[in-house]
Amino acid sequence: MPARRDVDPAELRTAVAATLPWLDDRAPRPGRSELARAVRLSLRTLEQLAPGHTVEVRVPPFSAVQCVSGPRHTRGIPPNVVETDPHTWLSLATGKLGWDRAIRQELIVASGSRADLSWWLPLLRIADPEGRAPEK
């Protein structure tokens, strides 16, 4: 299987920017292809920033990646899993939502001792139109 090409940061920014009005509750949910593109590119970016196979990150129905260095998962149910919905994932990826808050509000299912992605989030920062800083 050929290696995936690295995600172009401009391509990621463009894809995620198309979802911002929805993330800010100013527009309806984007089309399936727009949303899938933003989720997949952001997950692939996480995979590049945190290479490994210890944690499986799932954002159904669009994609899942394995990342974070450590013991490699090869069979059965992974011991370290993070799962969330597209809105929560993209909010985390852009810093609109902090990891700790998402955990407290049970917006993420995170199981396993290595299933903490806060070190790598946000993946990109997009200026807030009201000048607010991204959440920690």
Q: What is the pLDDT of residues 6-16, one digit of tens each?
A: 999 999 999 99
Q: What is the pLDDT of residues 80-121, one digit of tens each?
A: 999 999 999 999 999 999 999 999 999 999 998 889 999 999
Is 87 part of a structural domain of the chain?
Answer: yes
Total number of residues shown for the chain: 136
Q: Can you tell me the distance from the alpha carbon of 107 to that of 22, in angstroms, rounded to the nearest whole number?
A: 17
CATH no. for residue 86?
3.30.1050.40
* pTM of the shown model: 0.88
Query: What torsion, rounded to 10 degrees, do the Cα atoms 98, 103, 104, 105 define?
Result: 90
| Residue numbers of the domain that contains 31 | 9-120
Is 80 part of a structural domain of the chain?
Answer: yes
Q: What does pLDDT average to over the chain?
A: 89
Is 89 part of a structural domain of the chain?
Answer: yes
Q: 67, 116, 106: which is closest to 84 by C-alpha?
A: 106
User: Omega of the bond prior to 2 within 30 degrees of 0, cis?
Assistant: no
Please state the domain count of the chain. Answer: 1
